[in-house]
Amino acid sequence: MSDMNSDNIIQFSSFKTIYNENAANKCFKEYLEILTFSELINESNIIINDLRRGIIDKDLTVKSRLVLKEFEKRTGTNKNLASHSNQNDNAIIHFEEFL
């Protein structure tokens, strides 16, 4: 066991956290896919209101990207809307620019 590279080993609790986050993201993505376009707009308005209140965290960042990707998928937009928020995790674009 001493030959094992410790850089390749992660704590089980870290793995479990990442696994749970990915599962939650998948559920939210599936939820967005079944919404009507009007309901998707309503969901984006909820996120916009959270942004206006200054609530910017990892969860909101992920949800923002997923909503943008869903809009992109439905509208057939050539421009990758979600990539604008990838530049900085703390700088999330406002959906109003794209609605």
The closest of 14, 69, 79 to 44, measured between CA atoms, is: 69
Asked whether the whole model's pTM tops 0.75, one would answer no
Percentage of residues of the chain with pLDDT beyond 90: 30
With a pLDDT cut of 70, the percent of the chain lying above it is: 71
One-letter amino acid of 98:
F
pLDDT at 40: 95
pLDDT number for residue 98: 44
If you write DSSP's letter for every residue of 8-40 in order, what string do you get?
Answer: G---HHHHHHHHHHHHHHHHHHHHHHHS-HHHH
Strand spans (E) along 1-99: none
Query: Residue 29 — pLDDT band, cuts 50, 70, 90?
Result: very high
pLDDT at position 72 over 60: yes
Predicted pLDDT at 95: 47
94-to-16, 25, 61, 74, 97 alpha-carbon distances in Å: 31, 20, 11, 18, 6
